[in-house]
Each structure stands twice: as C-alpha cells, then as structure tokens.
Amino acid sequence: MNPTISIVTGGAGFLGSHLCDRLLAEGHSVVAMDNLITGNMNNLAHLAGQERFRFIKQDVTEYLFYPGHIDYVFHFASPASPIDYLKLPIPTLKVGALGTHKALGLARSKNACFVLASTSEIYGDPLVHPQNEDYWGNVNPIGPRGVYDEAKRFAEAMTFAYRQFHGMNAKIVRIFNTYGPRMRLQDGRVVPAFIGQALRGEPLTVFGAGTQTRSFCYVSDLIEGIYRLAISNESGPMNIGNPVELTVKQFAETILRITGSRSQIVHNPLPVDDPKQRRPDINRARTRLGWEPKIPLEAGLEKTIRYFRDRIDSTCGR
C-alpha cells in the first residue's frame, strides 16, 4: 500500500496512540490531534522527532483546519471510561456529536476516508447475546452512561448520513472492551482498577455479585482489526473485540492468579445501567476482513501487568 497521511483525533489517548504507532510502523504519516483532557502526551513521547509524525493540540469540537492533503481521518477522540464520562458528561456529548461533525467535515473537504471509533456501548444493556452488528441495542438515554452511548449512537447516525448523502467513504468500527499498556491506572475501568489493586495489595472492588460478563481484547489485536477495516473495501459497522467471555468475578480471580497477589475480593454496589453481559459476534470481521484476535487473555494481561508494575511505587505491597 502507498504511504498515506492520516489525522488521528484522540491521538494522545490509549487507542489513538497505539493507532498512531501502527500507522507509522506501516510507513504512513500521522497528524495526531488531542485536547488532552483524558489523553496524555506521555503516550506519544516516544514519537518525538519522528519525521512522519506531528501533534496538534486541538479541541476537535471546534472548527478543524488542516492545510495539507489527508487520506484518512480516524475519529478516536472521546472520554471512554465510565468514570470519565460521569465526570465529563457535556464534553463527552460534544465530542461524539460536534466533534464527529467537524471530523467528518474535514474528511469530506479533503476527499479522505473517515473511520469512526464507535463502541459496544451502542448495544447498551443488550437483550441479544452475543451482540452482532444488526442488533439495535437497549440504551437508557438519560441514565449515567447515556451521555457516552447516545453520543456514539449519534456519531454513527451522522457518519452513516455522510456516507449516504455525500457518498463519502465513511466507516464505523464498534470497539468492545480493550486493554493494554497506556490505559490510565486511575481511569476506573476494570482492567487497570483490578491490576492496580492487586499490585498494591488492596482489595479488588468487584461491583455487584460480579456475575456480569465482559470479553477483553488485547490492544494490538484491536488495532490490527481497525487497520484492516481502514484499508479494506468494507465500511461496517464492524464489531472488533475478543469473543472470549468471562464474568467480572472470574476476571478478578484471573488477575489475582497472574499477579500472585494475596488481595481479597470485596463487593461494591453495581453502577446504574451496568450491562449484564457483553460478547462480540465477530463473524463479520472474520469473513470480510479475515481478522480474529490472536493474543490469549493471560499473555495480554502479563504485558499489561508489566506496564502497570513499572508505574506503581515499588514500596507499595503486592
């Protein structure tokens, strides 16, 4: 494939920064944009001085200007953890709605391909299991997660409208729970929460009885799926995630086993509207992109634990 130029909104975030790395590794050029409200420049520090990489501090809900040629706009900017979007409800709505509009407008003006980072949250608390792309979802618009879920649903509708009305090459990837290095220890999501607690010797806070399920995809597998979607003739929506499903309780036990931690498990109240089950049906990605995840949970967790271990004060108990 010829070298391309991409804009990655949310480029300083967990997924955005890994996407930048992958595009650069494939020989492409990247302009990362981020307003750094949840993103962090440390995620891009290793790219400083790279000739094919540029960072622009930018709030993507405002008018986006970029003078040069662009082949792709990857719209990955958004708070993405439940505690982030509880703390930042209006910015979450704005980046999903106004930010998607601006990013689509930029892509259209450049005749570029647009790729929206959507989410399994658009399925809400699903009544269909596993979730395939034809399921419309079960979302509470005014619940605490509604700001994220509805922003992403609107973003999908907007992306689809640009595709239909303007004939744009606009794609949608629905990202399921993903983990790996560069997640923030304090972002409240279950992977950094449990690993941080286990490494510090604190109790693991299982919400509710821990019977709710999730399916965790290692970040390099996810980025591979997104990259394949971007360069394919497919436009999605396309689920990308790992279909191996486990309960949150089983996940806590797995973390205890792999870290060797002697932490206890405690039960805290279940957050409102917490989805009871989630597992991607990835048949579409398998058949149309030839993609499926390769990294087993334990191997991915070991890499992630190593990353967090380096960031936790070694004087804290394990």
Q: Which residues bind ligand UDP (CB under 6 A)?
A: 81-82, 177, 188-190, 193, 205-207, 212, 214, 248, 271, 274
CB of 15 to ligand UDP, least distance (A): 14
Handedness of CA 56, 31, 219, 269 (dihedral sign): positive
148 is catalytic: yes
Phi/psi-derived region of residue 114, left when phi > 0, alpha when psi is between -120 and 50, beta in every other case: beta
> Nearer Cβ to ligand UDP, position 43 or 178?
178
CB of 177 to ligand UDP, least distance (A): 5
- Containing 118, the helix (H) or strand (E) segment is strand 113-119
> Nearer Cβ to ligand UDP, position 17 or 119?
119
> Nearer Cβ to ligand UDP, position 40 or 247?
247
> Nearer Cβ to ligand UDP, position 115 or 193?
193
Determine which one of 85, 148, 162, 218 is catalytic.
148
CB of 143 to ligand UDP, least distance (A): 12
> Nearer Cβ to ligand UDP, position 204 or 289?
204
308 alpha-carbon distance from chain centroid: 18
Query: Catalytic residues, which ones?
Result: 148
